[in-house]
Structure formats: C-alpha cells, structure tokens
A and B are shown apart, each in its own frame.
Chain A
Amino acid sequence: MSRIKNFFKSYIDVFVLIFKEHFGNLHQIGKLSIADLKKTYNGSALGWAWAVIKPIFTLFVYWFAIAIGLRSGKDVGEYPFILWLMSGIVAWFYMTEIITGGTTCIRRYSYLVTKMKYPITTIPTFTGLSHLYVHVILVLVVIAVFWIMGYAPTIYLLQLPLYMLMMFLFFNAWSLFAGMISAISKDFANLVKSLNIGVFWLSGILWNIENIADNKILYTIMMLNPVTFICYGYRNCFVNHTWFFEQPARLAFFLGWYAVLGLLSIWAYKKLRKEIPDVL
C-alpha cells in the first residue's frame, strides 16, 4: 500500500517541482524566449520577414497542389477552400515546429544543462514561447486576410486564445518528454522527424475530415487525434462557427491525451534528469 502511495507522491512531487521551477524563473523564461526568437531570425538579410514568408509560401504550395493540381478543394460552407486551409494550417505550423523542434530543445540548449545550474523543465517552455510569438503574429495575419476577403471576425473567435493555450500546454508537455528522451539518444529525434510527416497527412490538415463522416468508425478515430483536435478547433473559430463545449467528447479525449503525455513527461523527468548531464 505504501508503495503505491510513494509512487503517487513521487509523481506529484515532480509536478510541483515543475511548477516551482517555472514560477521561480519567470524572468529568465521571458528573457530566454526572446533570445531564442532573436537567434532564429538573426544573421539573415531578410530576418524577421522569414517568419511570415515561409508559411505563406508553404500555404501557397499546398493550395496549388490541391486546388489546381488535384482539382480538389471544394469550398467549405460559405468559405473558399484556401481560407479553410489557412485557418487550420496556421495551427499546424506551430505544432510541426514544436513536434520536431521541441524534440531537440534540450540538446540545443545543452550548455544550460552541463555548464550551469538551470531548471531544465523550463527549456521547453521558453523555446515554445518563442515560437508562440510568431504564431500569434500569423494568427493576426489570418484574421486580417479573412477580413479583407469579406469575412469579418465573429464571436466564435473569442475561444481562439483557449485553443491556443491548450495547444501550447499540450506541446509543452510533448517537448519536455521528447526533449529528454532525445537528449539521451539522437535516434529518437530522427524517429520523430519521420513520424511528423505521417501526422501531417493523417490529421486532416490539407483535406477535410468531414468528407469521410459517413464512415463512422474511421471518422471517430481520426477525430481522437490531438493534432486534429487543435486544427479543427481553430477551424471552429474561423469557419465552422462551433463552440468548444459543443463537442465535449473531443475535448474530453484531448484532455485525456494531455494527461497521458503529462504523466509520460514526469516519468521521463524522474528517470532521466540525473542522467542527462552525464551524456550531453
């Protein structure tokens, strides 16, 4: 009995520790996230513009391949396909950065681990924040484009910050877990990189999952995917005009995933925190 109690206690201890490390280092997290952002765009002539150019170009390529090449991409409701695509893919741009970038975050900041005493659970947070700044700018661009095309913001946009927060927290847990594992071995980072492409095509970012709604089982499975949840959450705000509480099952599943991922990252922390400085 006491063994089970100790087991739970050890998990709660790490959970509390992560909170403490964050609230004790808010100042550092803020500064380091800005530094990380600067580092990403420093040293290139166009600098900051890349934060916008790259996603716009990617969006255009996908749109061209699907709407022009495959002659697919019908309008979704009253919205043209490209707007529908844009509203979901803007979230994906953040998620893909964190899925792959988060995996290497501890390795990239190895000097914070091996050369000084620094709370390493905050490394995923500040690298995630630095991407979030860019993401917020892109979201504002998307809102502006919708507006220009004649679709003024609706009241459903109010839930966007909530989806953003859920996305940030979810992928923060992911980075912590994946970052620690890949600090031990690079193989994991390569594995994630390959899987990332699969996640992209299976999450209904480019094609509308509603199209397969007649296949109930497949549709349900697809909707359980947390990436899909976030992506279609964004589309709820922009295109589908649905509140998050109107889809309680999806939300519950997402939170379930989040709990699992959270436990996994605590497990990884307990197991690897002492080992990471020895191997980096």
Chain B
Amino acid sequence: MSDTVIRFNNVTKKYKLYSSTRKRLLGIFFKKIKYKEKKAVDDMSFEINRGESVALFGKNGAGKSTVLKMITGVVFPTCGEITVDGRVSALLELSSGFDQEFTGRENIYLKGHILGLSEDEIKALEDTIIEFSELGDYIDQPVRTYSSGMKSRLGFAINVNIKPEILIVDEALSVGDNAFKTKCRKTVNNIIEKDNVTLLFVTHQTAVAEEFCKRGIVMKNGKIVFDGPVAEASEYYKTKYNPPKKKK
C-alpha cells in the first residue's frame, strides 16, 4: 500500500528582504515600503509516499532547507499547498531547539510535552534517550554549558527515539565520532525498516545518501531538476554541480 504522506502542490516560497529592520517594521504598516524578493522555492510539486526514503541534493541556496522547514510546518509557503500526514520529527540544526537554561533531562521532558507526549510516555523513553546521547552525568547540567557536539547528540537522541512517522534529517548524521556516527546510521536504518518511517535526507555527501535512500531529488534555484533512483540522482548531482575533487 502506498499512501501519500507529503504532497507539495505548486509551492512557492518568497522571502522578503528589506534593507533594514526599520524598513521591515514600517513595512508592516505601509505597503509602499520597498523590499527585494528572493524566491527560495519556485513552483515546486512532488509527492512522497509512506515508507519512502528520499535524499535531497542541491548546492547551498538551492532551497533544500526551506523545503524541509515547510514540511516541518515551521515555515509557511507564500503560495501553493502542502499536505503532511503524520508526526514529523525534524533533525534541523540539531544543536538548537533547546531551552538553554534547562538541563538536558528537563529539555527531554520539555520537548516531549511540546510534542504532546504524556508524562509516562516520556519517562519510558528517558533512559533510552540518555543512554543513546552518551551524555552521562552531564544530562543534569544546563544545556548552555554543553558543547555543540553534546547538544547535537542530545538532539539526535531525542528525535529518533520519540517514534517519528516522518523523519527529516538535515546533514545531521555527521555528529560526533565515528562510533557515534555508525550508531546513528544504524538507528535510522532500523526505524526506517521496522516502523515504516518516511525519511527525508539532505546532504552533500552523496555516498551517505545512497546508503539510506532509494529515491533522490536534485534541486537547483528552487526547482526540481532531477527526480529518480538515488544512484542516478547522485550521479547527476555529482557531474553537474559537484565536479569530483581531489582526495580529502
């Protein structure tokens, strides 16, 4: 059975760029104030079915992050229609999205509450998350004292463990050391296979994408320029936009 979980219908997203914040404030009240428009996503349409794993390729500024944010429901399209069906767990900029003043443990609860989980549900997940994040005693320290790696680990641990239906990963699998990376990949692979989770994956590393995803979409200037099997998509992306470099 293949039902659509994410559908974009002619979606366009324009950002308004004012020359100063003062102009932006005046722009609320007066229509005459001038601003530039930047099209981040340009009349885009696609569908993603349940259980699919899709990689999004594209150079910086191609509109990938905007697409992901619109799926998450954080950013709104200027026109067009988006339907998303299911609990979205987004690994956008992992190191943020925490309340800096709270401890890691309190943040687990806070996030859980915001997502509408009950006290008992969170309690059941708490230990798994803490263990996964490898934070140890630091879990009871305020998040503002964490290093960026620690924040990312905690963010990752929370997001993959709250049983998402749609998992959005934005270049996040490069967190931590090799052992942790491997663990992350294993977990993501695991939940895709077991729980029929839909995965959306953004990366510049085509090799990692090929490992997870079956379908690949290449974006350029807010438009889809290629949509097909991941191997072809990554080939397309590599040859067109990312000419092979010397070894790292």
Contacts and interface: CB of A to CB of B under 8 A. Distances in A.
Interface stretch (B46-54, B68-76, B197-205, B219-227): B68-76
A20 interface: no
Contact of B110 (A31, A115, A271, A275): A31
Given A117-B72, A118-B114, A181 B28 contact: yes
A228 B228 CA distance: 66
B39 to A, nearest CB: 13
A114 B88 CA distance: 14
A181 B22 CA distance: 12
| A42, A43, A272, A273 — most chain B CB neighbours (10 Å) | A42
Interface stretch (B3-11, B90-98, B128-136, B176-184): B90-98
A117 B22 CA distance: 28
Nearest to B25: A185
B101 interface: yes
B15 interface: yes
A181 to B, nearest CB: 7
B212 to A, nearest CB: 23
B97 A31 contact: no
Interface string A185-202: 111100000000000000
Given A115-B97, A184-B24, A185-B22, A35 B102 contact: yes
Contacts of B90: 115-116
B75 A115 contact: no
Interface string B129-147: 0000000000000100000
Given A43-B101, A117-B74, A32 B93 contact: no
Contacts of A72: none
Interface in B58-117: 69, 72-76, 78, 88, 90, 92-93, 96-99, 101-102, 106, 109-110, 113-116
A274 B76 CA distance: 6
Nearest to B115: A116
Interface in A221-280: 271-275, 277-279
Interface string A21-65: 000010110011001000100110000000000000000000000
A251 to B, nearest CB: 31
Contact of B96 (A42, A115, A117): A115
B2 interface: no
A39 B102 contact: yes
Contacts of A181: 25, 28
Given A186-B21, A274-B76, A115 B114 contact: no
Contacts of B22: 185, 187
B34 interface: no
B28 A272 contact: yes
B109 to A, nearest CB: 8
| B74, B90, B98 — most chain A CB neighbours (10 Å) | B74
Nearest to A279: B24
**A contacts with B: majority SS:** helix
B16 interface: yes
Nearest to A109: B99
B104 to A, nearest CB: 14
A111 interface: yes
A114 B74 contact: yes
Contact of B76 (A32, A111, A273): A273
A277 B99 contact: no
Contacts of A185: 21-22, 24-25
| B28, B93, B97, B106 — most chain A CB neighbours (10 Å) | B28
Contacts of B99: 35, 39, 111
A115 B74 contact: yes
A114 B142 CA distance: 21
Contacts of A271: 28
A188 B25 contact: yes
B75 A117 contact: no
Contacts of A277: 69, 74-76
Contacts of A28: 113-114, 116
B75 A278 contact: yes
A42 B99 CA distance: 13
B37 to A, nearest CB: 12
Q: Closest 7 interchain pairs by CB?
A: A115-B97, A185-B25, A117-B73, A274-B76, A31-B113, A39-B101, A185-B21
Given A185-B21, A277-B69, 9 more contacts: A27-B116, A114-B74, A116-B72, A116-B114, A117-B72, A185-B22, A186-B21, A187-B21, A279-B24
Interface of B: 15-16, 21-22, 24-25, 28, 69, 72-76, 78, 88, 90, 92-93, 96-99, 101-102, 106, 109-110, 113-116, 142
11 contacts: A31-B113, A35-B99, A35-B106, A112-B114, A116-B74, A181-B25, A184-B21, A187-B25, A274-B76, A277-B76, A279-B24
